[in-house]
Copies of this chain bind each other. A is one copy, B any other.
Amino acid sequence: MKISTKGRYALRMMIDIGINDKGGPVRIKDIAKRQKISDKYLEQIISMLNKAGFVRSIRGPQGGYRLTMKPSEYTAGMILRLTEGSLAPVSCLDGEVNDCPRQSTCATLKLWTRLNDAINGVVDDVTLEDLINWQTQAADIYYI
């Protein structure tokens, strides 16, 4: 019942890009250095974000990545669902339809559905803008 590094790193990268884009693209190497994460691993993760259109890449020298939308338009749920695959606590709630043969008599399904709703309620309520604000506020307090 854990969010994997993929999801956590993806959020941190999006936050990092949001904060460090000063009118030009942000390099993986710099993100890796700031976040203290292997740049090769980050490459793989950002490739997902790129293919999903959450960032766009610029190749060659002075290249890097930029956000494609305003931070307020991304939710944490969008980013986590993309990288984690699904946030559902049980696989029968993964897709659109539940084809579990036990579903009509499954008491625990009601519990899992409530849990699923609670999880979605949180992650779809928090935007990248929120995360960036929390990040910059925390940094301010820390470095004063």
Binding site for B on A (CB under 8 A): 1-4, 8, 11-12, 15, 76, 84, 86-91, 104-108, 110-112, 114-115, 118-119, 121-123, 126, 131-132, 134-135, 138-139, 141-142
B1 contacts A86, C-beta separation under 8 Å: yes
Q: How many copies of this kind of chain does the complex include?
A: 2
In the bound assembly, the distance between CA atoms of A126 and B110 in angstroms comes to: 10
Q: How close is A9's CB to chain B, nearest CB, in angstroms?
A: 10
List 26 contacting pairs A-B, 8 Å CB cutoff, sorted by A: A1-B2, A1-B84, A1-B86, A1-B88, A2-B89, A2-B91, A8-B90, A8-B108, A11-B108, A12-B108, A15-B108, A76-B111, A105-B139, A106-B138, A107-B131, A107-B132, A107-B135, A110-B134, A111-B122, A111-B126, A111-B131, A114-B126, A115-B123, A118-B119, A118-B122, A119-B119
In the bound assembly, the distance between CA atoms of A30 and B107 in angstroms comes to: 19
Chain B residue at minimal CB-CB distance from A9 = B108
In the bound assembly, the distance between CA atoms of A118 and B89 in angstroms comes to: 13
State which of B88, B112, B118, B141 has its C-beta within 8 Å of the C-beta of A118.
Answer: B118
